[in-house]
Structure formats: structure tokens, C-alpha cells
């Protein structure tokens, strides 16, 4: 599903953030991406999202060489990827409902097709009451859940989440991780970046550990 061969990444002329990474991620797998703050977790997720190009090496996603993709194809591939940004990136001028519905609209669905799905998912993540609220009025935890709902509504093949438990209490954090586990059972490939190690101990998923630009994958 994702394959890296000798991938390096540097911002501008600065030293490499990621050095010579080679690994592959199988469809239907679940990985935690760990490492201290500044280790390069967000940068690696951006490579997965195709929003950054590697400085060196080769990335293959969905069997296609990333360096060969044109803009249209790139946008099409992104529709198979769900992303939860660390800073949420909800659109303030849209309601919670409209934010979550956005990926389905991008896929060409009409409101009558997606309305009930979106409402159901919002109920499920506990935002049933906040459907018409705009993001600036949501609490940190509510925004977090809205961002997750937006990432999963389109049933992506790959779900990327950057610190998705950073803004919620431990209880909700655990529920959210169970939601990801549930999605994974239904076939979604999942990669969750986090530096909160204690929480992960309850889940027996392999960890990708970043430190000093190197990546170590273990099946803890």
C-alpha cells in the first residue's frame, strides 16, 4: 500500500529531517507512529498525504510512483486517504455538518445522499447536538472529533491521524482509539502519530519509532 525506498527529506537547505527511510506498510495494517516532539512525525505523514515530495529516494503509494503523479491523479489518490490534522483545519465558515460532509461532496455526492450518513457519524462521535455549530464555537475536544469524523466519513483506504488524542481527556482518547481499531477491522489501513506512549500500551499494534531522522518498526 505504501512503500518507501531510501527516502530522505530536508526543508530547504537545512539538515535532513528524515534520513534514508526504507519500509513498507501493508493494506489493512495499524501502526502507531511515535517519537519525541520535533522528530519528524508530521513531516512523515505529509509525505504519506502527498503534500510533500521527498528530497531523495522513491515513494510508491497504491502501487503508483509518487514522483510520476500529475495534479489530477494526485487529487484522486488523496480521496482514498483520510487525514486528521494536529491543528484540525476545520473550515470556520462552514457548520460542523458541512465540514464533515465536505469529502463526500468532493466525491460528487448530493446532500440527500450523504445527509443521514453524516448525521449518524456525528451522533456516534458525540456531536449530535453540535451539527449546526461553526468550528470557532466548538471546544478543543469537539473540534478534534469533528476533524476525525471528516477524515473517516468517506471510508478512506488509509487513515492518517496526527496527535488525534492530544486535545481530549484520557477517557475519550481511548474511545477514539477504539473507533480507529473498529475502522481497521473493517479494512482501513491506519497510521496514528502520537507522543503519548502510556495510552498506546492498551493496544497491541506495531509502532514505528522515529528518532534522529531514523525509523525503527517493531511489533511490540
Partner 1 sequence: MLLITIMTFLSGVTLGAVVLVQKSAIAWSSEVGREVTIQIRPIEGEVMQSNVRTAITLANSAAGVSKAFALSLDESEELLIPWLGEGLDLSALPVPRLIIVELDRADAQDIAQLKASIETIAGASLNTHAAWRQQLNTMAGTFVISGLLVLFLIASATVLAIIFATRGTMSSNRAIVDVLHFIGASNSFIAGEFQGRFLRIGLRGSIAGAVASLLFFFGAGIAVSSILPDQSGAQLGALFGTFSLGFEGIIAVSLLVPAISALTAVTSRLTVQSFLRNTS
Ligand X SMILES: Nc1ncnc2c1ncn2[C@@H]1O[C@H](COP(=O)(O)OP(=O)(O)O)[C@@H](O)[C@H]1O
Chain residues binding ligand X by CB under 6 A are 11, 17, 35, 37-43
Q: What is the closest distance, in whole angstroms, from the C-beta atom of residue 39 to ligand X in the complex?
A: 4
Match 490534522 to its residue by C-alpha cell. Answer: 85
Site for Mg ion in 30-49 (CB under 5 A): 42
Q: Give Cα 7 to chain centroid, integer Å.
A: 20
User: For Mg ion, how many residues bind (rule: CB under 5 A)?
Assistant: 1
Task: Write the interaction track for Mg ion spanning residues 74-113; mark x where CB under 5 A is met and - where it is not.
Answer: ----------------------------------------
Backbone angles phi, psi at 96, to 5 degrees: -55, -45
Residue closer to Mg ion by CB (options 35, 154) is 35
Q: What is the closest distance, in whole angstroms, from the C-beta atom of residue 203 to partner 1 in the complex?
A: 26
Cell representation of residue 155: 471510508
Q: Give CA–CA dist 41/122, Å, rounded.
A: 28
Site for partner 1 in 51-90 (CB under 8 A): 51, 71-72, 75-79, 81, 83, 85, 89
Beta bridge partners of 50: none
Q: What is the closest distance, in whole angstroms, from the C-beta atom of residue 214 to ligand X in the complex?
A: 13
Residue closer to partner 1 by CB (options 156, 213) is 156
Q: Give CA–CA dist 165/141, Å, rounded.
A: 9
Q: Give CA–CA dist 119/220, Å, rounded.
A: 37
Stretch of residues binding partner 1 (CB under 8 A), selected from 8-16, 52-60, 102-110, 204-212? 102-110
For 14, counting Cβ atoms within 10 Å of its Cβ (0-12 exposed, 13-18 middle, 19+ buried), the class is exposed
Cell representation of residue 125: 462521535
Q: Give CA–CA dist 94/102, Å, rounded.
A: 10
91 interface partner picked from ligand X, partner 1, Mg ion, none, CB below 5 to 8 A per type: partner 1
CB atoms within 10 A of CB 164: 26
The DSSP secondary-structure symbol of 47 reads H
Cell representation of residue 53: 515530495
CB-nearest residue to Mg ion: 42
Task: Write the interaction track for partner 1 spanning residues 11-50; mark x where CB under 8 A is met and - where it is not.
Answer: --------------------------------------x-
Q: What is the closest distance, in whole angstroms, from the C-beta atom of residue 148 to Mg ion in the complex?
A: 16
Q: Which residues bind partner 1 (CB under 8 A)?
A: 49, 51, 71-72, 75-79, 81, 83, 85, 89, 91, 93, 102-103, 105-106, 150
Amino acid at each position: 500500500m505504501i512503500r518507501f525506498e531510501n527516502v530522505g527529506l530536508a526543508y530547504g537547505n537545512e539538515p535532513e529531517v528524515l534520513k534514508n527511510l526504507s519500509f513498507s506498510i501493508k493494506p489493512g495494517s495499524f501502526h502507531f507512529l511515535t517519537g519525541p516532539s520535533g522528530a519528524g512525525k508530521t513531516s512523515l505523514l505529509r509525505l504519506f498525504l502527498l503534500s510533500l515530495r521527498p528530497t531523495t529516494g522513491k515513494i510508491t503509494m497504491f502501487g503508483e510512483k509518487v514522483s510520476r503523479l500529475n495534479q489530477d491523479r494526485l487529487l484522486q489518490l488523496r480521496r482514498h486517504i483520510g487525514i486528521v490534522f494536529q491543528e484540525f483545519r476545520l473550515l470556520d465558515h462552514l457548520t460542523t455538518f458541512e465540514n464533515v460532509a465536505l469529502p463526500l461532496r468532493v466525491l460528487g455526492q448530493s446532500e440527500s445522499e450523504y445527509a443521514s450518513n453524516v448525521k449518524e457519524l456525528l451522533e456516534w462521535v458525540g456531536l449530535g447536538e453540535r451539527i449546526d455549530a461553526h468550528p470557532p464555537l466548538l471546544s478543543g475536544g469537539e473540534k478534534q472529533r469533528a476533524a476525525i469524523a471528516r477524515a473517516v466519513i468517506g471510508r478512506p483506504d488509509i487513515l492518517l491521524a496526527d496527535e488525534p488524542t492530544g486535545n481530549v481527556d484520557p477517557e475519550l482518547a481511548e474511545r477514539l482509539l477504539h473507533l480507529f481499531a473498529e475502522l481497521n477491522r473493517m479494512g482501513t489501513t491506519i497510521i496514528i502519530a502520537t507522543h503519548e506512549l502510556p495510552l498506546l500500551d492498551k493496544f497491541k499494534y506495531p509502532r514505528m519509532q522515529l528518532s534522529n531522522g531514523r525509523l525503527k518498526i517493531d511489533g511490540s
